[in-house]
């Protein structure tokens, strides 16, 4: 069983356009609404692969979000709150460029945070969970170190479960400050999030460009810093350039199979889902990375929040290779 926790879920509204005319009138070619949020997307990928999964999210019982989860066959455990699930809007152009407009989400009080925390911990304590994925932004009112607090408590409630966290901005920085006693087993920053954690001055775009040239030295060095701080496995997704994995036993890079990008929404979440499913299945690190990149690439080739099924991923053309010791260090 893979449990996911999405503290700030969303209804993902996607409008597909030929091209975006800023300041002008734009007409959508297609529109759709789906249950979203990073952990929800991971659970969707797991469910489509036949992997037992359960998604936990704060949500009112009559919120339209719950119906969208049922439509997507995502097993959902809700924690009732006041307010409604936010709507995130994506403008997706035919050329692959996406523009996202994300709402902040409902305001949580201290009682909400305590009730949600109790639900996550009690669910993990029930046993049977191989992994928990906590992912996404935090809603207003949530403490910035919430992920660190949950990681500590999950360790006690379910010691054998793999703990994975994927977040960004202030919650990511707050988590990084607590790695000494609350490090997850797996972190999945993208290039921009990895850059947030360093003071090197290199931007996320520059890290992606380095990877596209076959230069992984700086990326693997930053990932190794996180690993040395306590994270067992660091998966750095690099967009079209693939990904890098650094563990205690080595470092690997993977390049994505050829595919025409339609929408990047959900690609990183699919990559994390692929990695965790392979990890739970006991695959070797290089194969976990291969599954991750194949899933992320397949998601980017789909419209809207495209979460691929196993039949849609291209493992055969996802190349994985070890990095040298110098590139890791």
**Nearest-10 Cα torsion for 85, 10, 289, 260:** 170
Select which of 73, 269, 314, 329 is catalytic: 269
Is residue 169 annotated as a catalytic residue, yes or no? no
Contacts of residue 8, defined as CB under 8 A and 6 or more positions apart, other chains included, come to 37, 86, 105, 136, 137, 138, 139, 142
Rounded to whole angstroms, the Cα distance separating 295 from 173 reads 27
Phi, psi of 45 (to 5 degrees): -65, -40
Name the nearest CA neighbour of 119 among 44, 57, 37: 57
Helix axes 267-280, 285-300, angle to 10 degrees: 150
Rounded to whole angstroms, the Cα distance separating 35 from 55 reads 11
Catalytic site positions? 269
């Amino acid at each position: 069983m893979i449990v996911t926790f999405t503290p700030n879920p969303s209804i993902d509204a996607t409008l597909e356009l030929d091209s975006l005319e800023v300041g002008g009138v734009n007409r959508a070619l297609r529109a759709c609404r789906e249950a979203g949020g990073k952990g929800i997307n991971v659970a969707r990928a797991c469910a489509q692969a036949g992997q037992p999964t359960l998604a936990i999210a704060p949500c009112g019982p009559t919120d339209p979000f719950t119906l969208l989860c049922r439509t997507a066959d995502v097993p959902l455990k809700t924690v009732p709150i006041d307010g409604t699930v936010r709507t995130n809007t994506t403008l997706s152009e035919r050329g692959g460029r996406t523009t996202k407009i994300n709402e902040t989400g409902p305001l949580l009080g201290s009682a909400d945070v305590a009730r949600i925390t109790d639900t996550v911990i009690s669910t993990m304590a029930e046993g049977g969970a191989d992994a928990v994925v906590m992912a996404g932004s935090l809603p207003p009112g949530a403490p910035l170190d919430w992920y660190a607090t949950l990681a500590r408590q999950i360790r006690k409630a379910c010691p054998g479960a793999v703990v994975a966290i994927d977040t960004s901005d202030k919650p990511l920085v707050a988590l990084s400050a607590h790695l000494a006693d609350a490090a997850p087993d797996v972190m999945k920053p993208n290039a921009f999030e990895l850059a947030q954690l360093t003071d090197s001055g290199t931007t996320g775009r520059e890290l992606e460009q380095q990877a596209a040239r076959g230069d992984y030295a700086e990326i693997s060095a930053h990932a190794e810093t996180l690993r040395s701080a306590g994270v067992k496995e660091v998966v750095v997704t690099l967009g079209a350039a693939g990904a890098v994995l650094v563990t205690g036993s080595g470092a690997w890079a993977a390049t994505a199979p050829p595919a025409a990008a339609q929408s990047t929404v959900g690609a990183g979440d699919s990559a994390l889902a692929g990695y965790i499913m392979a990890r739970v299945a006991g695959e070797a690190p290089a194969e976990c990375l291969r599954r991750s990149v194949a899933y992320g690439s397949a998601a980017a080739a789909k419209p809207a929040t495209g979460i691929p099924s196993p039949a849609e991923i291209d493992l055969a053309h996802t190349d994985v290779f070890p990095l040298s010791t110098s590139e890791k260090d």
